[in-house]
Every structure is written in C-alpha cells, then in structure tokens.
Amino acid sequence: MMRITTKGQVTIPQDIRERLGLLPHTEVDFEVRGEAVVLKKAKAGRRRGRSLVEQMRGRGTVRMSTDEILALTRGEGG
C-alpha cells in the first residue's frame, strides 16, 4: 500500500517499474475503471515530441532565418 503525497504523487514500487519498463521520464496514462485507476505506459512517439516542442516554444532569444540557422549547423560562414 502506498500513500499519496500532498502534491498528489505516489511512488511506484521498484519491482513494478522494472517489470513494466517504467524508466524515469516515461510518460503514462491514467484510466478510471469504476472505483479503480489503471496506470498504463503511454504510446511512444507523438506525445513526447509534442511535449518537447511545447516546452521549447517561445524560448528562442535570437532572431535568425532558417537559412542562417542551417548555415551555422553546417559550419558555413561566420
């Protein structure tokens, strides 16, 4: 039995994490089934990419065109 923290967090026992491959930063889904909650590993792919884009959106501080960025990544020009 586990106790929910004041932040709404709960620790998943290590043996369960290892058995299901729930590594740090693994995304999970919750499903309510009657009086129970089922935790499932989220399907990989689109969600993680979308999350990364949302975290980065609006954080750029240098205004550059796509061509200028590509030139930098290719080591062209100065």
Listed by start position, the domains of the chain span 1-45
Q: How far apart are CA 56 and CA 43, in angstroms?
A: 22
CA nearest neighbour of 18 among 37, 41, 36: 41
Query: Rounded CA gap, 27 and 23, in Å?
Result: 9
Q: How many residues can be counted in the chain?
A: 78
Q: Read off the pLDDT of each residue in 36-40 and give the average, rounded to a whole number.
A: 93
The residue with tokens 């884009």 is 53
Residue 45 banded pLDDT, cuts 50, 70, 90? low
DSSP letter assigned to residue 44: S
CA 2 to chain centre: 24
Q: Give the type of residue at 60.
A: G
pLDDT of res. 4: 94
Domain covering 1-45 in this structure, CATH number: 2.10.260.10
Mean pLDDT of 38-51: 75
